[in-house]
Chain A
Amino acid sequence: MNQNQAVIELKDIHFSYSASTSGSSSDNNVAAQQSLILDIPSWAVPKKEKVFLHGASGAGKSTLLNLLTGMREPDRGEVLVMGTSLSSMSSSKRDQFRAKHIGVVFQQFNLIPYLSIRDNTRLAAHFSGTNDNVLLERIDHLSHALGVNEFVDKKASELSVGQQQRAAILRAMVNEPEIFIADEPTSALDDQNKQRFIEVLFNLVEELSMTLVLVSHDSSLAQYFSTVQDISELNKVMGAS
């Protein structure tokens, strides 16, 4: 695997919730190791790869995603996204970087309930600095592709869960990020909506040449992915226990 091709790269990551923030990497004491959540020696996701990340609950999936998006910082080690180390950025730079290059969809609450889909999308575009000129066009195109074009001016709270999750893709893709991260995006959906969600997501990921990381405990989704990664194989904390 070529290093330059890797869009996401983890090197020697340690993360624990109770560890002091000032603690330098070398001498982790016993107390800190007890609360260690993640210990990932290395992991890389090549460009345009579609990775299905699965594992039991509590295996550190959400924590791993928080590290990838820069919402949390590892106690030690390095997270490289598109060749750039997240920890080398100022927190404000990191926020901007996330807005521009990473689209995220969660299990729920992907949209601000009191704003229309259009305004949710505009807000996301606003924070990433996406130009207003391309915005209308993108919203138009994406909403058609996602089948939510009829609802763009409705408030998020007025939509069904299935519509909301597809609208969440619109919000996450409007800045045309290189990386798309989805955290249990289908677990609130029925089979029909799940099917539709995966379908439209894959179409757009393909069309926009994105790298996809989808986390789920639902192994029936694994069939759609080129790479299936069990998190317990990555995380030495889990392996030890």
Chain B
Amino acid sequence: MFFSVAWQSLLYRRGSVALAIFSLTVSVFVMLSVEHVRQEMQSGVEKAISGVDLIVGARTGELNLLMYSVFRMGNASNNIQWRSFEAIQNHKQVAWAVPIALGDSHAGYPVLGTTEAYFDALKVGEEEPLKFQQGQSFANTMEVVLGAQVAHQLKYQLGDEIILSHGTGKTSFQKHDKHPFTIVGILSATGSPIDKSIHVSLEGLEAIHAAENKPYQPTTTAAKPSVTAVFVGLKSKLAAFKVQRQVGAYRKDPLMAILPGITLAKFWQMMGSVDIVLKVISGIVLVSSLLGLMSMIVAGARERRQEMHLLRMIGARPWQILGFMQAEILLVCLISIAAAVTTLTSVLWAFQTYIFNSTGLLIGLNIFTPRVWVILSLIVLSTMCVGFVVSVARGRD
């Protein structure tokens, strides 16, 4: 009964109610977007490197190493010698070590040289192993495995031949066009930067570079390929700090190791102030729309005084009238939240591919995390409080 009456009351005053709903919707939308994007960035980054205990690279910034090795953003300052990789691989705490070599590209997509162990060792999402959508891992030097996104966007199929370019730009002046690679496998989509990568064997990379660089660098390290970074899985995660220290102290090659989780945490700390600014902005928007709601209630006060008197006359207790007002406010609030959630979900749905292509982050459509429920409850609660205060203050006269 309360809600049916409240609903008809809102319909009767639909002009001012629509304005209140609109401004509340905007503020809830801003709040939820900030929260969701932050959350998805965080979990997206974590998903992309699950199962990797250490990342080893040439000495550089911690964040730089993380960004180029996992997200192919930025460049390595230097390479790792092959024997350093072997030393890491042979460390007694190391369960597996996968080398990666970056620097080439195809149609703007980064090429990643690695070993076959990559496909077995790497985990994505909730520690899920990589799966092949079609074909299998490369067995030959001139074979290539594509990430799901690459195959989809460029419409490649098994058996197609592709040519890699030197450097990571979309347009490259130096193409390895004498050495086409054959597509032998396409990975299933993971929602991580792996989807955007092109995987070849280290030997394959070495072969095309050796062929072209021979006049300039005739004696590189005995046909052993150089490596940009190494993903390491440990036998025991407890050894992570110890191994990290030992890598840093390795004398034959200037190396560093990072624990991706910890580097990420540092990164988020750095991003914390941006996060706070966004939160403050959405908080201000919420407060202003609550003020709007208040003014809607107060503005309707005079006209509704008779209505309240009538309700009292037909026997409504003061708390019932309060409940009736609160039912109206609750409806306004719930409609706004529903509108904001719908808008956000459609915007995400529409821009998901675009965001993934430009950042490598797969923003999920499900915005309902426990934190979001908390935020929504707080919004409802604060709205009800505002309504309560205004109604009670008005009820006094």
A155 CA to B5 CA in the complex, in Å?
12
Interface size class of B (residues with CB under 8 A): 20 to 34
CB atoms of B320 and A127 under 8 A apart: yes
Question: Using a CB-CB cutoff of 8 Å, which residues 1-41 of chain B contact chain A?
Answer: 1, 4-5, 8-9, 11-12
B276 contacts the other chain (Cβ, under 8 Å)?
A: no
Q: When chains A and B are docked, how far (Å) is the Cα of A96 from the Cα of B314?
A: 9
Inter-chain contact A113/B12, CB cutoff 8 Å: yes
Helix, strand, loop or mixed for chain A's interface?
Answer: helix
B306 lies within 8 A of chain A by Cβ:
yes
Q: Once bound together, how far apart are the Cα atoms of A232 and B128, in whole Å?
A: 92
Complex alpha-carbon distance, A124 and B1, angstroms = 12
A71-B312, A95-B315, A109-B306 are known contacts. Are A126 and B1 too (CB-CB below 8 A)? Answer: yes
**Minimum-distance CB pairs A-B, first 3:** A99-B315, A114-B12, A127-B315
Residues of B within 8 A of A111 (CB): 310
B315 pairs with A98, CB closer than 8 A: yes
Find out whether the CB atom of B312 lies under 8 angstroms from the CB atom of A95: yes
Interface string of A208-226 (1 = CB under 8 A from B): 0000000000000000000
Q: Contact residues of A with B, CB < 8 Å?
A: 69, 71, 91-92, 95-96, 98-100, 104, 109-115, 119, 122-124, 126-128, 157, 171
Q: List 11 A-B contacts (CB under 8 A).
A: A98-B313, A99-B314, A104-B313, A109-B306, A112-B5, A112-B9, A112-B307, A115-B5, A119-B8, A123-B1, A127-B316
Report B258 CB to chain A, min CB distance, Å. Answer: 64
- In the assembly, what is the distance between CA of A120 and CA of B233, in Å? 72
Chain A residues positioned under 8 Å from B8 (CB to CB): 114-115, 119
A95 near B316 (CB under 8 angstroms)? yes
Q: Whose C-beta in chain A lies nearest to the C-beta of B8? A: A114
Q: Which residues of B contact A128 (CB under 8 A)?
A: 314-315
Q: Which B residues lie within 8 Å of A157 (CB)?
A: 12
B83 contacts which chain A residues (CB < 8 A)?
none
Query: What distance in Å separates the Cβ of A92 from its nearest Cβ neighbour in chain B?
Result: 5
Tell which of A91, A114, A171 touches B314, judged by Cβ atoms closer than 8 Å.
A171
Known interface pairs A119-B5, A123-B5, A127-B316. Does A109 touch B310 (Cβ–Cβ under 8 Å)? yes
